[in-house]
Homo-oligomer: A and B are copies of this chain.
Amino acid sequence: MKKILLVGSGNVATHLAQNIDNKKYTINQIFSRSKSNAKNLIELLNCYWTNDPKKIIDSDLTIIAVNDDKIKDVISFLPDIPTVHTSGNTDISVLKGCFNKYGVLYPLQTFKKSLASNLSQTPFLIEGNDKKFEQSIFELASSFSKNVTIIDSYTRKNIHLAAVFACNFSNHMIVLSKKLAERSDFDFSLLLPLIKKTFGQIDNDPEKSQTGPAIRKDLKVMNSHIERIKDKDLKKIYELISISIIKFHHGNN
């Protein structure tokens, strides 16, 4: 049984902890700034907790699951045991010099702390500073998921960027449509069947699912939409994305 020091108590930390294979791994201790944030997790795991670097107890592996900009802070005081971070956008080399064995365990998924989720279908992108440790990370990732791939930092960061478009930006388009619904005083739930179908049909060829005035180059409809949008920022977004759709599907690409 490998003992794990889990650094962080946010979305990723919570989902990893909830999905850990208890036969092979145990969360030994949580290190996080505030105990109140970690409260549910400590109760769930029945493990040690500290926010004092001096009170970190012996473990076999550290999983750093904090915001990207906090990684450098925590590695300055962590013990030199095998260590992975869970960031999509941080190079493996950030851990170099601090640890003998180090690597990356990145779950390519969107997490909200409050929503429990099974990680078995979540792609884990992993990387290790040597082949043997990489194999250990592979085994750890495989205890969460059936979808584990060894990916170098450069490619992982590009995947992270693409994920921002595929997940965060597409979600924001739906948020903006809700904003329009509220301003126009119609029930946003009218759009839910459309949203459900749009994404139900997404597969390896999303370009084939593209519909709407821009792909038809229907300038009359586009202009009537632009006239109807009061908000300047929203108007800009409408124009820019419509132009991007036209360029993508009709050349100049």
Residues of A with Cβ closer than 8 Å to B? Answer: 11, 67-69, 89, 108-112, 115, 117, 121-123, 125, 147, 149, 151, 155, 157-181, 184-186, 188-204, 206-216, 218, 220-221, 224-225, 228-229, 233-234, 236-238, 240-241, 243-245, 247-248
Of B162, B207, B211, B216, the residue contacting A191 (CB under 8 A) is B162
Of B151, B170, B215, B234, the residue contacting A186 (CB under 8 A) is B151
As for how many copies of this chain the complex holds, the number is 2
A218 and B170 contacting across the interface, CB-CB below 8 Å: no
Q: In the complex the two chains form, what is the Cα distance from A189 to B162 in whole Å?
A: 12
A193 and B123 contacting across the interface, CB-CB below 8 Å: yes
Would you give the shortest CB distance from A214 to chain B, in whole angstroms? Answer: 7
Contacts A184-B158, A210-B168, A221-B68; A195 near B204 (Cβ below 8 A): no
B178 and A110 contacting across the interface, CB-CB below 8 Å: no
Contacts A89-B225, A115-B201, A198-B110; A173 near B176 (Cβ below 8 A): no
A190 and B155 contacting across the interface, CB-CB below 8 Å: no
A188 and B204 contacting across the interface, CB-CB below 8 Å: yes
Q: In the complex the two chains form, what is the Cα distance from A68 to B221 in whole Å?
A: 8
Would you give the shortest CB distance from A175 to chain B, in whole angstroms? Answer: 5
Would you give the shortest CB distance from A166 to chain B, in whole angstroms? Answer: 4
A158 and B172 contacting across the interface, CB-CB below 8 Å: no
Can you list 5 A-B pairs with a CB-CB distance of less than 8 A? Answer: A108-B194, A112-B201, A162-B184, A166-B174, A170-B174
Determine the residue in chain B with the shortest Cβ distance to A233: B244
